[in-house]
Structure 1
Amino acid sequence: MRLQGNDDADVIVVGAGPAGSAAAHYCAAAGLDVILMEKSSFPRDKICGDGLTPRAVGELVRMGVPTREEDGWIRNIGLRAVAGGRSFEFPWPELRAYPSYGLARSRMNLDQTLAEHARASGAKLMERTNVTGPVVDERTGRVVGVTARPVDSNGRRAGEETTYRAPVVIAADGVSARMATSLGIEKAMNRPMGVAVRTYFTSPRHDDPWMESQLELWDGKPGESNLLPGYGWIFALGDGTVNVGLGSVSSTAAATKIDYKALFARWMENTPEEWGFTPENQIGPVRGAALPMAFNRKPLYTRGLMLVGDSGGMVSPFNGEGIAYALQAGRVAADVVSQATARTTDDSRERALSTYADAMSRELGGYFTLGRIFVRVIEHPRVMRLCTTYGLPRPLVMRLVVKLLSDCYEPHGGDVVDRVIAGLTRVVPKA
């Protein structure tokens, strides 16, 4: 898999979000020639809660990304869950595996930081380059590159289509997964799918040290009105603004008829006045996106194409987080590609590349299976209400909830809660 005379790179990465930039960074750091293609130009926005758990922070540390306050980051100390008229605060646990703090930063800045980090590592970053499809070798059926064309700031064609060749292509093209679908790799309808909407407000809560999750949303006063089908979040960004969003999850990928923007508006109408979540304080529109969960698109590797991040459905069913797993997948994919370059035959290189799917299943498959079970349970409002009313006030349950929902537990050793979670991820079928 060494660079051939007609190849433009050792690996092409499609999409410069967290997954793609992580893959490009690690591949370039390993000495590979990398092209990282992004259809937009930086800075550019993405629909996200902007909150990073300690697991995601650990991945940033591995990449060597500076996360100092002066670089635009704000730290958070744990998760605040609000339900049943009560508030429960869960500090991030002290673990050997991850730092004991989370971070927040808008995707407008985060993605640019990661893409520039990949470029500083040696990757060639091509912005405003819209990948139109894979190049497939007629003889072998392998993906051997991509076709792409330049676009302007509005996404309109701005040049001729060009072919770029590489022996491996990493698809980090998000929930649309156009590279995968062009090869007939469709999403699994029996896997969970989430939907989220969010916007920004200027607010006195901008420096709140807790990530807040509203587990019950009412369209009036709590307990005196209708319970809305979803959960909310409030993440402080430390710059005078907060990211406020609402999400919902279903155990299948079937489309819902819920008007999420209308739900969001009803929630905002009933938030405390002192929070400042009013139209005059709102920054930008309410925007929404789908959240593909629990490896909802497989195979993660086939014929020279790897799926990382949202393109492979790597969002947690527990909390809707995708950044940590996107960064992790980029790291694992790059390691597999680097190992494959050391093989001396086509067969041995292909065997090395095929280990990517096994590695991701081994690291996340059990946890995602537990998440699928969790979603099936909380889909029923009565069950969810019982859990928040009688479960959260119990200290042991509280510890289990924060570690399970945030995926912050010791995979080996730790306390009794860590051992229970780790044991469950090992015995359940892999997602």
Structure 2
Amino acid sequence: MSAPDLVVIGGGPVGLACAIEARLDGMDVLVVEPRSGPIDKACGEGLMPGALAALHRIGVDPQGHPLAGIAYVDGSSRVEHRFAERPGRGVRRTVLHSALEARAEQLGARRAEGRVVGLDQQRDRVRITLADDTVLDTPWAIAADGLHSPVRRLLGLERRPQVESRRRFGVRRHYAIAPWSDLVEVHWSPLAEAYVTPVDEHTVGIAVLGRRPLDQEAVLASLPALASRLDGAETVGSTRGAGPLLQRARSRASGRTLLAGDASGYVDALTGEGMRVGFSQARAAVAAVRAGDTEQYERAWRATTRDFRMLTSGLVIAARSRFRSRIVPTAAARPELFGSIVERLSR
């Protein structure tokens, strides 16, 4: 196997977006991923308008259900905002992965199945060792290997984990029921949030976020309006879980290896814009590789994630506090403020 210009470690959506960006820029790219087939993950599956636009720019158009906006619901309080310029789209994670994988293959990205167990940074290259003792040499590497990134750990870039009492987790399940809305509905219970996303004409996905023990059935039972909607609906596929959600990195690059997507750091899923941020990071990481400037990527990463980090962190703090029960009523009383935040995050 000839040495590629770039090795992307991780074949999820952001890793595949990195591979597509690199191929569009003329690089020879190899994606290393231990799993085969469409990769599923616990996520809300709602692509904000900015995320969908980023996919269209690289030639990817996954099937799904139109999303017209976001609604927050808490008992009798409800506030909603419809996107001003263009819709988003609810897309099952496996459908999104298949569409990105097909585009990467169409553009000629190479793929190797393997698990990275070693990474040696040299002056002009990165030497990557796989579990089967295969060694890959490349001038540059981008690690998009997820929330609990092994590469982040190998590079010594992990920061101290969050204390157990503050950790939040997510559980997602699909239900065979026709969507009743073209909005992502966020239902607030006293201890958790349930994100309802239409993903096709016959299916909704529900992602529940909160502290452990996270019992999705108990959370849904505490939301009578949502529970009545789901009464009698069959579940589809398996339940997926993820967490702890907060992950922090000391830096987004070390030597000739860059971190992208959840591997680069993640706050929480509360604002639902992880894919938009991840696709922006993919574009910025490939541009930095082409320029040979990791500081360029660090600056771009901070600019790309600033709103996400600030607004999501603030919302998580409020959700943990005694003001939690006031979040939706306050948003309902200030719909213009709620709408401006949704618009800023969605683009």
What is the aligned length? 343
User: Counterpart of 1:251?
Assistant: none
In structure 2, what is the Cα distance between the partners aligned to 1:366 and 1:91?
A: 20
User: Counterpart of 1:345?
Assistant: none
Are residue 392 (structure 1) and residue 332 (structure 2) matched?
yes
Q: CA deviation at 1:119?
A: 2.0
Are residue 368 (structure 1) and residue 300 (structure 2) matched?
no
Which amino acid in structure 2 is aligned with residue 33 of structure 1? D
In structure 2, what is the Cα distance between the partners aligned to 1:285 and 1:42?
A: 16
Q: Cα 1:136–1:20, aligned 2, differ >3 Å: closer, same or farther? A: same
User: Counterpart of 1:60?
Assistant: 55
Q: Cα 1:401–1:357, aligned 2, differ >3 Å: closer, same or farther? A: closer
Are residue 196 (structure 1) and residue 196 (structure 2) matched?
no
- Find the partner of 2:280 among 310, 320, 328: 328
In structure 1, what is the Cα distance between the partners aligned to 2:327 and 2:52?
A: 29
Q: What is the CA deviation profile of residues 378-429 of structure 1, one whole-angstrom value per residue up to 9, with x for unaligned ones?
A: 311x31222322442333233234335xx036xxxxxxxxxxxxxxxxxxxx
Q: CA deviation at 1:188?
A: 4.4
Q: CA deviation at 1:88?
A: 2.4
Alignment of 1:5-84 (within 5 A): 8-67=3-62, 72-84=63-75
Secondary structure of the residue aligned to 1:364 is: helix
Q: CA deviation at 1:298?
A: 2.4
In structure 1, what is the Cα distance between the partners aligned to 2:57 and 2:155?
A: 33
In structure 2, what is the Cα distance between the partners aligned to 1:163 and 1:23?
A: 21
Which amino acid in structure 2 is aligned with residue 41 of structure 1? S
Percent identity reads: 23
Task: Please identify, of 266-275 and 354-363, the stretch whose mean Cα deviation from structure 2 is larger.
Answer: 266-275
Are residue 259 (structure 1) and residue 254 (structure 2) matched?
no
Are residue 181 (structure 1) and residue 167 (structure 2) matched?
no
Question: Do 1:199 and 1:245's aligned partners in 2 also have CA atoms closer than 8 Å?
Answer: yes
Alignment of 1:94-173 (within 5 A): 94=85, 100-126=86-112, 128-137=113-122, 140=123, 144-149=126-131, 160-173=132-145
User: Counterpart of 1:252?
Assistant: none
Secondary structure of the residue aligned to 2:81 is: strand
In structure 1, what is the Cα distance between the partners aligned to 2:183 and 2:82?
A: 9
User: Counterpart of 1:209?
Assistant: 182
Are residue 408 (structure 1) and residue 335 (structure 2) matched?
no
In structure 2, what is the Cα distance between the partners aligned to 1:327 and 1:93?
A: 21
Question: Do 1:12 and 1:145's aligned partners in 2 also have CA atoms closer than 8 Å?
Answer: no
In structure 2, what is the Cα distance between the partners aligned to 1:9 and 1:390?
A: 53
Q: CA deviation at 1:175?
A: 1.2
- Find the partner of 2:200 among 238, 262, 285: 238
Q: Cα 1:244–1:371, aligned 2, differ >3 Å: closer, same or farther? A: closer
In structure 2, what is the Cα distance between the partners aligned to 1:317 and 1:40?
A: 24
How high is the TM-score relative to the length of structure 2? 0.90
Which amino acid in structure 1 is aligned with residue 95 of structure 2? N
Q: What is the CA deviation profile of residues 203-223 of structure 1, one whole-angstrom value per residue up to 9, with x for unaligned ones?
A: 132x63111111x22xxxxxx
Q: Which structure 2 residue ranges, 5 or more long, are not aligned?
A: none
Q: CA deviation at 1:133?
A: 2.5
How high is the TM-score relative to the length of structure 1? 0.73
Q: Cα 1:16–1:202, aligned 2, differ >3 Å: closer, same or farther? A: same
In structure 1, what is the Cα distance between the partners aligned to 2:313 and 2:181?
A: 31
Q: Cα 1:317–1:66, aligned 2, differ >3 Å: closer, same or farther? A: closer
Question: Do 1:198 and 1:244's aligned partners in 2 also have CA atoms closer than 8 Å?
Answer: yes
Q: Cα 1:390–1:310, aligned 2, differ >3 Å: closer, same or farther? A: closer
C-alpha RMSD of the superposition: 2.5
Q: Cα 1:45–1:244, aligned 2, differ >3 Å: closer, same or farther? A: same
Secondary structure of the residue aligned to 2:104 is: helix
Question: Do 1:18 and 1:114's aligned partners in 2 also have CA atoms closer than 8 Å?
Answer: yes
Task: Please identify, of 28-37 and 112-121, the stretch whose mean Cα deviation from structure 2 is larger.
Answer: 112-121
Which amino acid in structure 1 is aligned with residue 185 of structure 2? E
In structure 2, what is the Cα distance between the partners aligned to 1:208 and 1:196?
A: 23
- Find the partner of 2:241 among 280, 288, 291: 288
In structure 1, what is the Cα distance between the partners aligned to 2:48 and 2:272?
A: 11
In structure 1, what is the Cα distance between the partners aligned to 2:346 and 2:315?
A: 16
In structure 2, what is the Cα distance between the partners aligned to 1:317 and 1:107?
A: 15
In structure 2, what is the Cα distance between the partners aligned to 1:211 and 1:303?
A: 40
User: Counterpart of 1:276?
Assistant: 230
User: Counterpart of 1:307?
Assistant: 259
Question: Do 2:147 and 2:266's aligned partners in 1 also have CA atoms closer than 8 Å?
Answer: no
Q: CA deviation at 1:231?
A: 0.8
In structure 2, what is the Cα distance between the partners aligned to 1:36 and 1:277?
A: 43
Question: Do 1:195 and 1:290's aligned partners in 2 also have CA atoms closer than 8 Å?
Answer: yes
Q: Cα 1:233–1:328, aligned 2, differ >3 Å: closer, same or farther? A: same
In structure 2, what is the Cα distance between the partners aligned to 1:315 and 1:101?
A: 25
User: Counterpart of 1:222?
Assistant: none
User: Counterpart of 1:415?
Assistant: none
Q: Cα 1:60–1:38, aligned 2, differ >3 Å: closer, same or farther? A: same
In structure 1, what is the Cα distance between the partners aligned to 2:228 and 2:323?
A: 32
Q: Cα 1:163–1:57, aligned 2, differ >3 Å: closer, same or farther? A: same
